[in-house]
Amino acid sequence: MLPLCSRLIGVGRAIAGFAAVWYIGSRVWGHIARAEPVDFYPLLKPFGLGIAILFPALISMMNGVLQPVSDATATMAQDSNKAIEIISTSRKSR
């Protein structure tokens, strides 16, 4: 699965990184503009997503864990396609 989408990983990282920085910046700027203390706890999720995006080892680990799921799903789809083909040929022969 990873080789099929490897060309888009860089683009996705750039877009997600820009969006995370933009979101964090807008939230912090809003707090500063209202003269409030910066509430850091709601910003942990974008920081976590940014860290996950920046480290390609995490993506490789997720690919390794999810590869059996991807293979099983592909096998199920092939079996389903074979069953549909058998049903459609039996209906055409009637």
The reported pLDDT for the residue numbered 1 is: 57
Radius of gyration of the chain (CA): 23
The reported pLDDT for the residue numbered 77 is: 92
Residues 34 and 44 reside in one and the same domain:
yes
The reported pLDDT for the residue numbered 2 is: 62
DSSP letters of 13-26?
Answer: HHHHHHHHHHHHHH
Residues 6 and 38 reside in one and the same domain:
yes
Domain with 2 in it: 1-54
**Tell me, what DSSP letter sits at residue 43?**
G
Residues 35 and 5 reside in one and the same domain:
yes
The reported pLDDT for the residue numbered 9 is: 77
The reported pLDDT for the residue numbered 72 is: 92
Per-10-residue mean pLDDT of the chain, 94 residues long, equals 71 83 90 90 82 76 86 91 89 80
**Overall number of domains in the chain:** 2
Residues 61 and 87 reside in one and the same domain:
yes
Residues 44 and 76 reside in one and the same domain:
no
List CB contacts of 46: < 8 A, sequence separation 6 or more.
20, 23, 24
